Amino acid sequence: MMMLNLNPLPAPTTLVCKGKEALGEVPLGEVPLGKEALGEELRRKALRTTAALALLATAGAAHALSLAEAYTAALGNDPQFRAAQAQTEASREALPQAVARLRPNISISSQHYRIEQERTDGGQSFPKQDYPSYSTTLSIRQPLLNLRLTASRDQAKASVASGEAALSLEQQQLGNRLVAAYGNLALGYEQLTLVNLQQRSTGSRLTAAKRALEAGTGIRTDIDEIQAQSDLLDAQQLQARQAIQAAQAELEEITGRPITKPILLRENKALLIASQRLDPGTLSTWLEKINTASPELLARKAQVEAAQAAGRATRADHLPTLELVAQTSKSSSENSFFVDSKTETQAIGVQLTLPLYQGGFLQSRDRQTAAELRAAEELVSRTQTTARIEASKAFYALKEGIARVAALEKAVESAKQVVIANQKSFTAGLRSTLDILAAEQRAAQTQLDLRQAQLQLLVNHVRLLGLVAQADTPVFEELSTWFQ
């Protein structure tokens, strides 16, 4: 099962949020008096940075590709899913083919010849003959008793059911791959926005530190520390852009749609409420659903039914078959003794076929189908156990993810207060620039951890639903509201 791999960049040095969440550049000597003033200042800077990102990444698109739109596009474009669709369409034909063998078989054959014959009998020669000959036959065969054909029809039904379940499983896996790729791209844009704002803040602090040194109130160590942070941010920005390019290429490959606008999460407070609605309830409910709705388990159970039908078909090969046969034919000049003669024949009757001995072939087939049935039953048992384990993992990951998002939301608020406290202490002469940078670094990492947890929550939600074939278009439409 593909999982979203949310690996954040190295720990940033400045807290960044969008809107009222923003904590970013606060030049020395311009420390705001409260959180409201700080948020207002950083809101304007976040909007400017986001606008610059949009101009850089777009070519005039009206809106970003939503998660629901990406899912719809992926259903029609993803080569792996389209291959599964074609395979399912092919497997569906097994049933009409099996049913057709139970219906009448009508055929017609016609032969036309020009015969030249020279005959000698001992020393006696007969006149040379040159005549036309033809025969036309229409025949109908209708199975009356053929248990093998009946069992083959049942086997085809089970095979079609297995194919349909396999297609459903592939669709759920496509949803998992899509939400992972979409989330990775969203996280990449979150990281890039964060790094860009950090660069602005660090540049402002570096300028202030240099002025303080020139005025005799600063120290060289502060400048070196801030310059080191600036150099690190340059590397992080390059890394973030590379991560976006990789995630964008993967998403475009799945959807077949160009990604022309940044994908960004909504504000934390809105997502905190939305995350609570993803509560999966009780584990027992999901384990019950696994037994009745798991696509992989349903496919395995259908394969058992197909193996059982194959066994019945093999055993039926030991039994007689009975067919109704009707035939009409017309012929002319069938041989040299009846030149220029015409014959019309109609016949109707039954044909009984009883197998007697085929060198042990049928007995070998019996053993083979019995072994295949045992293997299919064992795979059902293993798949059921695996599916229940995967459901438990996804359930607890979702439960813990919801709690983690709530905890990180509180941690982000606390980190903001720590940054403000350090800024006020700096104004009072009790903290240094490096203390503020350290507080901003911790706050920024907390904010990034929150974004990571929010995106991971989506992955775990889709994964759990996919285990019971419920990750469909309405689900992705609802999850689209998580993004701007």
Is residue 222 over pLDDT 60? yes
Measured CA to CA, the distance from residue 113 to residue 127 in angstroms comes to 20
Is residue 177 over pLDDT 90? yes
Measured CA to CA, the distance from residue 477 to residue 277 in angstroms comes to 15
Is residue 459 over pLDDT 50? yes
Distances (CA, A) of 361 to 172, 184, 307, 314, 366: 42, 57, 18, 10, 9
Measured CA to CA, the distance from residue 273 to residue 124 in angstroms comes to 111
What dihedral angle (degrees, nearest 10) is formed by the CA atoms of 268, 270, 276, 278?
-100
CA atoms within 13 A on the CB side of 362: 13
426 or 102, greater pLDDT: 102
Measured CA to CA, the distance from residue 470 to residue 484 in angstroms comes to 24
Return the pLDDT at 34: 40
Is residue 422 over pLDDT 90? no
Report the run of H or E that residue 55 belongs to, with start and end.
helix 35-57
E strand intervals along 45-123: 105-117, 120-121
User: Over pLDDT 90: what percentage of the chain?
Assistant: 53
Kindly tell me the burial class for residue 295, based on how many C-beta atoms sit within 10 Å of its own C-beta (0-12, 13-18, 19 or more).
Answer: buried
Q: What residues does 325 pair with on adjacent strands?
A: 141, 349
Q: String of b and e for 307-337 (b: at least 16 CB within 10 Å)?
A: bbbbbbbbbbbeeebebeeeeebebbbeeee
Looking at the chain, the number of H-run helices and the number of E-run strands are 12, 6
Is residue 15 over pLDDT 90? no
pTM: 0.76
Distances (CA, A) of 409 to 184, 415, 425, 446, 478: 21, 10, 25, 9, 22
**Residue 223, helix vs strand vs coil:** helix
Per-residue pLDDT of 104-116, as tens digits, reads 999 999 988 777 7
Return the pLDDT at 21: 35
Q: Quick one: pLDDT band at residue 339, thresholds 50, 70, 90? A: low
